[in-house]
Structure 1
């Protein structure tokens, strides 16, 4: 996989920004906590926040952190407080570990920040420190799916000029989309119809199954 853009910041750098954004989206808005999250069927906003906290706690414990006591189910304000409580130390431990130790955690949290924004009817962020490293994680996973399914390699392009090669070899097809749309496509948030409607250089039918990989698969209905 290659990318024609600057080398991104270390993977963990965007994680504090995700925490700040999610808190800013939800602070003082208790009426939204039971709202469904269309990108995550059967989840409410509370479930989404509980999930990102659970992921953080798991990584924190694997890196030697001692979790504070937890009693009973927590609501959104308490979930956010607990996330912040371990956040600074988790950031430090990820920085010390280096490499790709926090990349999946950051990608997961950033993806769910976008899910939350969509559920609340808000726009995606114009810029985000977690965006570039999260894109890299998704492109690597998608590239593995392309190769594993025996599909020809292709070129992924954003309308802003970023580009990646998915799969080994010389690309024989390309797809171009705004960065947010391409990200959501790679993260299983776009239906097969939405994927086919992107700007492809050739018929995309052979490629579409590769968008099912890891935990991701295109929804049956158009995603947001």
Structure 2
């Protein structure tokens, strides 16, 4: 995978930004905590937050920390507090570890922030410090899917001029989309119909199977 892009912020910068963003998103909307999240159709808003807290606990343990005692029935305000408590310890440990430590967790958290925003009718942020490191994780995963399926390399582009190569070698075609749409496409939040409707320089059919990789599968209906 090759790329022309901004240098990603360290993970320990992006993760607290996501926590603060989700707290701001959910803190003032108590009537929406049972709302279904279309990007995660089996989950409510509260379920998504529980998932994020559980992931933080797991990563904290891997880095030598001790999460608080289990509390399975917490409501959103208490879950936000628990996530902040765990996250502050985790931020210090990620900063000390450096490198790409925690990058998958940051990608997962930022992706779910976008899921929650879509579920609540809140536009995605114009800029977010977690976008670049999270997108790097998605491009690497998609690139492995392209190469693993024996597909020709594909150039991923944004209208602003950033470019990434998915696969190995010189790209034979390109996919161009706004940054947010490209992110959601790689994160399994766009249907095959939506993917095919993006701006391709060649017929997209050969590459569409590659959008199923890791935990991500294009939804059967248009995603958000």
Instruction: Give the shorter-chain TM-score range.
Output: over 0.9
Q: Normalized against structure 2, the TM-score is what?
A: 0.98
The 2-side partners of 1:217 and 1:209 are apart by: 9
Q: How far did 1:101 drift?
A: 1.1
The 1-side partners of 2:97 and 2:136 are apart by: 19
The 2-side partners of 1:11 and 1:161 are apart by: 24
Equivalent pair of 2:6/2:132 in contact (CA under 8 Å): no
Say if 2:195 is the partner of 1:195. Answer: yes
* SS of residue paired to 1:42: strand
Q: How far did 1:210 drift?
A: 0.2
* SS of residue paired to 2:176: strand
Q: How far did 1:6 drift?
A: 2.6
Matches within 5 A, 1:167-178: 167-178=167-178
Report the equivalent of 2:14.
14
Q: Which runs of 4+ in 1 moved over 4 A?
A: none
Report the equivalent of 1:184.
184
- Cα-Cα RMSD: 0.8
Report the equivalent of 1:208.
208
Report the equivalent of 2:64.
64
* SS of residue paired to 2:165: strand
Report the equivalent of 1:100.
100
For residues 190-213 of structure 1, the C-alpha deviation after alignment (integer angstroms, 9 at most, x for no partner) is 000000000000001000000000
Q: How far did 1:140 drift?
A: 0.1
Report the equivalent of 2:5.
5
For residues 129-187 of structure 1, the C-alpha deviation after alignment (integer angstroms, 9 at most, x for no partner) is 00000000000000000000000001000112211000000000100000000000000
The 2-side partners of 1:43 and 1:49 are apart by: 10
For residues 96-153 of structure 1, the C-alpha deviation after alignment (integer angstroms, 9 at most, x for no partner) is 1112111000000000000000000010000100000000000000000000000000
Q: How far did 1:72 drift?
A: 4.0
The 2-side partners of 1:82 and 1:142 are apart by: 33
65-74 or 213-222: bigger deviation: 65-74
Matches within 5 A, 1:66-145: 66-145=66-145
For residues 76-108 of structure 1, the C-alpha deviation after alignment (integer angstroms, 9 at most, x for no partner) is 111100001111110010111112111000000
Q: Normalized against structure 1, the TM-score is what?
A: 0.98
Give aligned pairs, total: 224
Matches within 5 A, 1:47-58: 47-58=47-58
Gap regions ≥5 residues in structure 2: none
The 1-side partners of 2:107 and 2:72 are apart by: 28
